[in-house]
Amino acid sequence: MRHTLPVAPQFYVTAPQPCPYLEGRMERKLFTSLQGDHAEQLNDSLSKQGFRRSQNVLYRPSCAECSACYSARIRVADFKPSRNQRRVIRRNQELQREATSPWATEDQYALFRRYLDSRHADGGMADMDIFEFAAMIEETPIRSRVVEYATHEGREKTLRAVCLTDVLDDGLSMVYSFYDPGLAANSLGSYVILDHVEIAREAGLPYVYLGYWVPGSVKMGYKANFAPVEIYSGGEWVELGDPEAYDAEIHPLSTDPIAEQVAQISLPDTRPTR
């Protein structure tokens, strides 16, 4: 099934499959290819409209009868860590951060496997081998970084957390992160987010994009803890406010037809300037 705009890129829709966030729901995605000379502008533009990147594809949920997924981002200038988040930062003071080019390593994959086996053994990535992992990290047509967090004893480095991060024109997009499941008390997932807020602040970038926040999903609920969080709803970014005010109820009129959704997408102007 294909839907196109008068100009490239072309948009497609995936076949329905079980939703990974809400039991009993079916998931469908609207997606387009990310390639060519203007890949970076397209990624910047569509990220601001609720899309996410996976390798050389940009996608956004487009479920037939459900609109529970909201793209979420932290407003860096107004973010102040809570008391608990300050404890998380202190708990991980020994971690050293290193940002590198998007290149996969055996140490990263070993940590990734431990993380999946412990936290997501029945998830969609459970069978990912080292070649697929390398593709996830390395196949990027835009400006991406691998941000590693490690402890050091002498010359020995122990990897504790990793985040694949895209650098957008208005922020950092946390594409995928994983961490040592044996250090649950350290709240490494939260720490990586908190540190990305600091990286964005240092770089003068206004937002950290977190992926999708889904009311009613235990997996995705934690993102509301990093207030002020904005969500993409009704074609604009609005402050999340009280997470309890949202629900994940299905309504037959909750989503626009695919053709209408595509027509509403704003594309970057890639015409050459004189």
Q: Is the pLDDT of residue 7 over 60?
A: no
Residue 125: pLDDT band with limits 50, 70, 90: confident
Q: In what order do the strands lie in the sheet with 57-61?
A: 2-4, 10-13, 29-33, 57-61, 52-54
Residue 4: pLDDT band with limits 50, 70, 90: very low
For residue 227, the Cα-to-chain-centroid distance in whole angstroms is 17
CB count, 10 Å around CB of 151? 15
Q: Give the burial string for 200-214 (b: 16+ CB within 10 Å, else e).
A: beeeebebbbbbbbb
Tokens of 49: 């409209």
The predicted model scores a pTM of: 0.91
For residue 79, the Cα-to-chain-centroid distance in whole angstroms is 19
pLDDT at 246: 85
Do 70 and 213 form a contact (C-beta atoms < 8 A)? Answer: yes
Which of residues 260 and 102 earns the better pLDDT score?
102
Tokens of 68: 């529970």
Q: Where are the beta strands (DSSP E) in the chain?
A: 2-4, 10-13, 17-18, 26-27, 29-33, 52-54, 57-61, 70-75, 96-100, 144-153, 156-167, 171-179, 207-213, 229-233, 236-239
Residue 8: pLDDT band with limits 50, 70, 90: low
Read off the pLDDT of residues 58-93 as tens digits, 9 standing for 90 and up. Answer: 999 998 888 889 999 999 999 999 999 999 999 999
pLDDT at 6: 44
Q: Is the pLDDT of residue 184 over 60?
A: yes
**What is the average pLDDT across 250-263?**
78
pLDDT at 171: 98
Q: What are phi and psi of 196, to 5 degrees?
A: -65, -30
Tokens of 182: 């044996």
Q: What are phi and psi of 121, to 5 degrees?
A: -65, -25
Identify the DSSP state of 61. E
Q: Which domains does the chain have, with CATH numbers?
A: 76-207 (3.40.630.30)
Highest-scoring range by mean pLDDT, 55-69, 193-207, 237-251: 193-207
Q: Is the pLDDT of residue 167 over 60?
A: yes
Q: What is the mean pLDDT of the chain?
A: 90
Which of residues 22 and 269 earns the better pLDDT score?
22
Residue 221: pLDDT band with limits 50, 70, 90: confident
Q: What are phi and psi of 189, to 5 degrees?
A: -60, -45
Tokens of 139: 């196949």
pLDDT at 248: 75
